[in-house]
């Protein structure tokens, strides 16, 4: 039975039994459309897919993330294409989206206004916000042309109206700045010194451009985006960040030093400092 074959391959790669079982079931669901019961009993739906499934299992056993092997990831009820040129969306980022959407609706009548996602990657934040805030105008920036290609495809796949632009916030001039009601960003925030503690499948496969910041300036992107927010956010505009759990206090202090008010630090579902909200005063 192909289910047992996949589990054996994954286990031989050093994967724990529970994770191997979950991934085997996921592969059979995504590739063959099999339910858990069908996978466990062998329904015959796998016929014709065995070779592809075994090849996928071998790649995962060697450390390649299952989302890259499948070419897609689930996020906020959406299915997104993912490739090694963009980060794999995380559950923590879903929490950020829900918080931002809730705050935006509370602050803006009928959820109208302009929203900017900086460092969009796969487009997960911008696209999810476009679905949750259908009255808003959503724009998304990234420095990577590959990321913008993937994000644009994801917007079309999920029927989301998002305007994508190639922008390097660290280098590009901001002539003719537009005004926004909310800015959201999950920028690179991992210090290079932390690489030794990272999981191999992340370090070896996900784009370092989207992961790392210099050890001597961990708030590099947050500071720059917050400074842009002073110019680009309308009065009482919102700013949301996903952050490195090591620098929650420092991020809050930085925002306060730039005269943001009602700065709030939240933990993620794992109990780590992960999200910050602030309002332009």
d(CA 52, CA 182): 44
DSSP 8-class letter at 270: T
Could you tell me the residue ranges of all domains in the chain?
2-62, 85-280
Q: Name beta bridge partners: 182.
A: 115, 238
Distance CA 120, CA 140 (A): 6
pLDDT over 90, % of the chain: 72
CATH topology of domain 85-280: Rossmann fold (3.40.50)
**Beta pairing partners, 187:** none
Residues pairing with 164 in the sheet: 140
pTM of the model as a whole: 0.90
C-alpha dihedral over 246, 277, 139, 118, to 10 degrees? -20
Token pair for 11 = 């286990």
116 φ, ψ to 5°?
-125, 125
Distance (Å, whole) CA 178 – CA 231: 9
Cα dihedral value 4, 6, 7, 8, nearest 10:
90
Helices 2-12 and 17-32: crossing angle, nearest 10°?
A: 130
| Of the candidate ranges 20-24, 103-107, 180-184, 189-193, the one whose mean pLDDT is the lowest | 189-193
Predicted confidence at residue 220, as pLDDT, reads 87
Give the helix ranges, DSSP H, for 33-171. 36-41, 50-61, 66-70, 91-107, 124-132, 145-157
Closest by alpha carbon to 66, among 142, 136, 15? 15
**Contact in structure between 139 and 115 (CB atoms under 8 Å):** yes
For 215-261, the pLDDT digits (tens) are 667 898 899 999 999 999 999 999 999 998 888 999 999 999 999 99
Confidence of residue 177 (pLDDT cuts 50, 70, 90): confident
Rounded to whole angstroms, the Cα distance separating 266 from 261 reads 15
Query: Which pLDDT score, from 0 to 100, does residue 43 have?
Result: 80
Of the candidates 215, 236, 226, 228, which has an alpha carbon nearest to the alpha carbon of residue 281?
Answer: 236
* Per-residue pLDDT tens over the stretch 33-47: 999 998 888 888 888
């Amino acid at each position: 039975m192909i289910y047992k074959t996949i589990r054996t391959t994954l286990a031989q790669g050093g994967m724990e039994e529970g994770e191997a079982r979950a991934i085997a079931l996921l592969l059979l669901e995504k590739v063959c459309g099999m339910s858990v019961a069908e996978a466990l009993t062998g329904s015959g739906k796998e016929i014709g897919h065995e070779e592809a499934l075994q090849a996928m299992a071998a790649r995962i056993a060697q450390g390649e993330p299952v989302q890259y092997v499948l070419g897609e990831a689930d996020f906020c009820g959406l299915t997104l294409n993912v490739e090694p040129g963009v980060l794999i969306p995380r559950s923590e980022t879903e929490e950020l989206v829900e918080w931002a959407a809730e705050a935006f609706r509370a602050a803006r009548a009928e959820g109208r206004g302009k929203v900017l996602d900086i460092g969009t990657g796969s487009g997960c934040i911008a696209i999810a916000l476009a679905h949750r805030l259908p009255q808003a105008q959503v724009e998304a920036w990234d420095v990577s042309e590959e990321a913008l290609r993937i994000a644009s495809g994801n917007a079309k796949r999920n029927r989301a109206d998002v305007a994508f632009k190639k922008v390097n916030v660290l280098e590009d001039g901001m002539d003719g700045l537009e005004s926004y009601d909310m800015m959201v960003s999950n920028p690179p925030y991992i210090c290079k010194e932390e690489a030794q503690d990272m999981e191999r499948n992340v370090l070896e496969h996900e784009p370092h451009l989207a992961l790392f910041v210099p050890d001597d300036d961990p708030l590099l992107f947050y500071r720059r985006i917050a400074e842009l927010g002073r110019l680009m956010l309308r009065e009482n505009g919102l700013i949301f960040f996903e952050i490195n759990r090591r620098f929650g206090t420092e991020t809050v202090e930085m925002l306060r030093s730039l005269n943001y008010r009602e700065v709030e630090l939240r933990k993620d579902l794992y109990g780590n400092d992960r999200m910050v909200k602030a309002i332009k005063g």
